Amino acid sequence: MLRRIEARIVNPLLGTRIPLPTYATDGAAAMDLRACLEEPLVLAPGQRALVKTGLAINMMDPGLVAIVASRSGLSLKHGIRVAQGIGVIDADYHGEIGVILANDGEQPFTIEPGERIAQLMFQPVVQVGLQFVDNFSTTTARGEGGFGSTGRL
């Protein structure tokens, strides 16, 4: 069953001077988030910045999470990535989405108003209860093997 998410525009630039977030193709798993800026922002090598998107979501469904991910082209070509790896937007967060971008490249990078800066994907959530035990009752082929225990590192 398709779930619907209510999205709100919280910046008047979004939808007027800056395009709304969209899915690039029918098969896209994530929509592109754009920089909702009045003017260009220069991100120096090694620098991080919070870039607003002008979009707030009201997910409301505690069974969902929104994930902010890097755009592969920006990462490969310019070293621009979501600073913390991915961003997690919990169902009970109701503010504007901001993306923390980091410049791992060797050159300054200019983020233009309306530039596609990240991707937004929605995923189901499972919360797990932790239970302390003295040992595990089942064994597996791997056993207690760690990194590299099933092949090459």
3-state secondary structure of 72: helix
The whole-model pTM stands at: 0.81
Angle at 115 between CA 110 and CA 121, to 5 degrees: 125
pLDDT at residue number 26: 87
Establish if 115 belongs to a structural domain. Answer: yes
Positions at the binding site: 71-73, 84, 88-90
DSSP for residue 91:
T
| Each residue's pLDDT tens digit, 71-130 | 999 999 999 999 999 999 998 888 889 999 999 999 999 999 999 999 999 899 999 999
Establish if 89 belongs to a structural domain. Answer: yes
CATH number at residue 88: 2.70.40.10
Distances (CA, A) of 28 to 72, 121, 122, 152: 14, 10, 12, 33
Question: Is pLDDT larger for residue 148 or for residue 85?
Answer: 85
Establish if 141 belongs to a structural domain. Answer: no
pLDDT at residue number 139: 72
- Domain extent at residue 35: 6-124
Positions at the binding site for substrate: 71-73, 84, 88-90
Instruction: Compute the distance between CA of residue 30 and CA of residue 54 in angstroms, rounded to an integer.
Output: 17
Domain count, the chain: 1
